[in-house]
Amino acid sequence: MKEALAQELLRELQHIVDRPIRIMVVCGTHNRAIMRYDLRRKLPENLDLVAGPGCSVCVMPAGHIDAFVRIAMQPDVITVTCDDLLQVPGTRDSLASVQKKGARVEVISSPQEALDIAINNPDQIIVYPAVGFEATAPGIAETILDAACQGIDNFCVIPSIRLLPPTLDTLLADPDWDIDGLLCSDHINSLSDTEAYTSLARKYNLSCCIAGFELEDILRGLVNMVKQIKKGVSQLENLSSVIYSSEEYSMAKRMVAEVFFAVDTIWRGLGIIEESGFVIRDELSLYDATKRFNIRLSDEQSQCQCFCGMIMSGRGLPPDCPDFGKGCTRKHPIGPCMLSSDGICASYFKYTLEDGTTARW
Ligand code: SF4
């Protein structure tokens, strides 16, 4: 049934794409799904999908990893983090390499889990490097407010959350960029940043669409965007099945505003972007690991000759990198786009070179 729907949507795309159209697939999870379904080869020739900066591990600069590492090596600290971040290199070390040297680093799947570890280990300081995009901010804000409310003082966060809309705004301002639309993921639904995407659509005459991660969701999103583009409509369409109530939106917004404010922030491969990252307000500085340990998140970038910045800004795809599949593989990654499971190079490598296990449909 789903396969028949996907075939039907693909036929519709073949029918309606009658000129070159270039769409940025903002989110790393969408990019992975597109590779998994081998979609690029099945789409109309004139429909070009480029990758975007939506892999939070990929955009983490070396200077921020250095701060994570320095804090992880402090006495009585347990660093709790997502699996993907472990191997990302700073200028010298990664969390995985200092773990081998004796630092206590554990993998968890949510900030709430970090708080539970803090409750169960009152003699240790639990440090959570927060590395997601704006959609992760409400959950982290809620955990910090929860810790403050319960008087838990052995839990803190390294604030390295990034905001996609200002970064997309910076990329879109380049007249050579030539993008007709942004395919956005369900993730942006979780914070009321839909307004930011609506403004981007209007400002740059783009079609934008929020869609889920299943094949038919992505195809439905692409059909919707192509129709918008052909009609000259510039707006954000939300095709997501994940719907939040206005109360949930307001509560998320309120918690985020209570805990964070936006500052200029550096992105790996893309440079410093105005108001593109969150830091923790002074009133909650007990929960800010950088203040607690007096360690700055530096702007230092990696010296490796990696094309990640070019690929994450839609100016190329992994096969355009001379190291792809040669010097840079899943076993021996050079850049974070190959390290992270949501990295575009990792997705390309897995589904075109490594095992070729694309989904049948
Ligand atoms: S293939 Fe490797 S070196 Fe090339 S852009 Fe991707 S991660 Fe960087």
Pocket perturbation via mutation, ligand 1, pick of 57, 59, 306 by most ligand atoms within 8 A of CB? 306
- The torsion angles phi and psi of 324, rounded to 5 degrees, stand at -60, 120
Query: For residue 7, which phi and psi values (nearest 5 degrees)?
Result: -60, -40
281-294 per-position pLDDT tens digit: 999 999 999 999 99
Percent of the chain with pLDDT over 70: 95
Q: What distance in angstroms lies between residue 131's CA and the mean position of ligand 1's atoms?
A: 20
pLDDT for the residue 356: 65
User: What confidence category does residue 118 fall into, taking pLDDT thresholds of 50, 70 and 90?
Assistant: very high
CA of 239 to the centre of ligand 1 (A): 32
For residue 173, pLDDT over 70 is answered with yes
Which pLDDT score, from 0 to 100, does residue 248 have? 82
Q: Whose CA is nearest to atom 7 of ligand 1?
A: 335
Range with the poorest average pLDDT among 99-108, 157-166, 187-196: 187-196
Which pLDDT value is given to residue 210?
A: 92
Higher pLDDT, 1 or 226: 226
Q: Which of 174-178, 260-264, 345-349 has the lowest mean pLDDT?
A: 174-178
Using the predicted structure, report yes or no on whether residue 222 has a pLDDT greater than 90. yes
Candidate from 302, 303, 331, 338 with most ligand 1 atoms within 8 A of CB, to mutate? 338
Question: Residue 34 C-alpha to ligand 1 middle, in angstroms?
Answer: 19
Q: State if residue 345 touches ligand 1 by the CB under 6 angstroms criterion.
A: yes
Is any ligand 1 atom within 6 A of the Cβ of residue 51? no
Q: In the structure, what pLDDT confidence band is assigned to residue 189 with cuts at 50, 70 and 90?
A: low
Instruction: Please report the atom of ligand 1 found closest to the CA of residue 339.
Output: 7
* pLDDT tens by residue, 75-114: 999 999 998 899 888 888 999 999 999 999 999 998 999 9
Higher pLDDT, 151 or 354: 151
Q: Tell me if 338 CB under 6 Å of ligand 1.
A: yes
Atom of ligand 1 nearest to the CA of 304: 3
- Average pLDDT of 325-343? 89
> What's the 345 CA to ligand 1 centre distance in angstroms?
6
Ligand 1 atom closest to residue 321's alpha carbon, by position in its atom list: 4
Whether 254 shows a pLDDT value over 80: the answer reads: yes
Ligand 1 centroid–CA 95 distance in Å is 20
Q: Which residue owns the Cα nearest ligand 1 atom 3?
A: 306
pLDDT reported for residue 301: 66
Q: pTM for this one? A: 0.90
Q: If you average pLDDT over every residue of the chain, what do you get? A: 91
Greatest Cα-to-Cα distance within the chain, rounded to the nearest angstrom: 65
**Ligand 1 contacts CB of residue 131 (under 6 A):** no
Amino acid 171: pLDDT: 93
pLDDT at res. 45: 94
> Does the pLDDT at position 235 exceed 60?
yes
pLDDT of residue 308: 85
